Amino acid sequence: MPIPYTKLVIEHFKNPHNVGEIPDADVKVTEGSPACGDMITLYLKIDPETQRIVDVKFKSYGCASNIATASIITDLVKGKTVEEAKKITWKDAAEALGGLPPVKVHCSVLAADALHSAVELYLEKNGLIKENEPTTVDKVYERLSHVMNPETGIDVVKSKIVKSVVVDSGIVEITLNIPKTSQFADNIKEEIEERLQYLWDIREVRILFKE
Residues marked active site are found at 36, 107
Coil/strand/helix, residue 57: strand
Query: Hey, which residues does 19 pair with through a beta bridge?
Result: 58
Amino acid in the structure at residue 75 = D
Long-range Cβ contact pairs of 143-149 (< 8 A, separation 24 or more)? 143/195, 143/196, 144/174, 144/192, 144/195, 146/29, 146/30, 146/31, 146/117, 146/195, 147/188, 147/191, 147/192, 147/195, 148/30, 148/33, 148/191, 149/184, 149/188
**42 vs 119: CA distance, rounded Å:** 10
15 membership: H or E segment, kind and range: none
Sign of torsion, CA 159 162 165 170? negative
